Structure 1
Amino acid sequence: MKDNKVEVRVRYGETDQMGVVYHGSYVPYFEIGRVEWLRNRGVLYKDMEQNGIALPIVSMHLNYKKPAKYDDLLTIHTKLKSYSGVKIEFDCEIRNENEELLTTAHFILVFVDVNSGKPTTPPQYILDIINAE
């Protein structure tokens, strides 16, 4: 399955007093990775929601290996791990400019009908993208 990459630079507000990225700042980084994974395949998350489909996280597991620091340029790698029915899983990692592995993550998300709030199978255009991976 194809790896998707996107770069972000660590902003001052994402760090603690020591200039190290605060652990809670990683979740938005990984969200950027997943949203860009969709965008690079022709799906805008905003359009998906306007068409009645949301994709909330139901499980996440993060492993911190090395700290990211203020002004580091990070590369977020996002890869589709699996899909079944209403559930989609991603493996992700963040590396710094020296290609050092800083953080790994695994996310499970569920396709949800915006109106009912219940799990649903994704529309065919999303299934086509998943199957092409």
Structure 2
Amino acid sequence: MYTHTTQIRVRYGETDQMAYVYYGNYASYFEVARVEALRALGMSYKELEEEGIMMPVLENHSYYHGPAVYDDLLRIEVSILEMPSVRIAFHYKLYNEAEQLVHSGETKLAFINAKTKRPCRPSEKMLALLRPFFENAEKN
């Protein structure tokens, strides 16, 4: 399993009239978390795109556990629980500064060849970077 943590501060424009994070903004928080997780791994979205691989979102699931509010500093844990094939799943947990779980979710993305628009496997570089996090799981 690969896990990365990043932080994001809730901005005023991301909240509704009650000062709660507007539900549609969680998808943006998920995107920030997965982009930073891949960057920390050593593989950026930009590199994938330069290799001719796109990653459209196939599914986006959100679960609300409590409100995140204006000016909260959210800690976002993103995990990849399985080695990717032509798809990759990211799992998210968002905590406020009091360490309360306020939101969780999952996104599933596909690897698509930019020229053919057909599913493809992830780059060998990405697989090589992820492999060490899954070696024990593959042996079981």
- Aligning the two structures, in what range does the TM-score lie when normalised by the shorter sequence? over 0.9
Code of the residue aligned with 1:83 in structure 2: it is M
Regions of 4+ moved over 2 Å = none
The residue number in structure 1 matching 2:4 is 4
Question: What TM-score do the two structures reach when normalised by structure 1?
Answer: 0.95
Distance 2:13 2:84 in 1: 38
Distance 1:125 1:84 in 2: 12
**Deviations for 1:4-58, whole angstroms, at most 9, x for unmatched residues?**
0000000011001111100001000010110011000111111211220111110
Indicate conservation of the 8 Å contact 2:2/2:130, yes or no: no
Aligned length: 133
Distance 2:84 2:70 in 1: 38
**Deviations for 1:59-79, whole angstroms, at most 9, x for unmatched residues?**
121101101000000011000
The residue number in structure 2 matching 1:83 is 83
Equivalences for 1:66-77 in 2 at 5 Å? 66-77=66-77
Distance 1:24 1:75 in 2: 18
Distance 2:71 2:84 in 1: 38
Distance 1:56 1:83 in 2: 18
Distance 2:85 2:20 in 1: 39
The residue number in structure 2 matching 1:119 is 119
Code of the residue aligned with 1:122 in structure 2: it is P
Partner of 1:34: helix, strand, or coil? helix
* % identity of equivalent residues: 39
Equivalences for 1:6-21 in 2 at 5 Å? 6-21=6-21
**Deviations for 1:87-122, whole angstroms, at most 9, x for unmatched residues?**
111111100011100111111111111111111011
The residue number in structure 2 matching 1:106 is 106
User: Cα distance, 1:84 vs. partner?
Assistant: 4.5
Given the alignment of the two structures, is residue 94 of structure 1 paired with residue 94 of structure 2, yes or no? yes
The residue number in structure 2 matching 1:28 is 28
Gaps of 5+ in 2: 134-140
Q: 1:132 to 1:105 in 2, by over 3 A?
A: same
Question: What TM-score do the two structures reach when normalised by structure 2?
Answer: 0.91
Code of the residue aligned with 1:62 in structure 2: it is S
Distance 2:57 2:43 in 1: 18
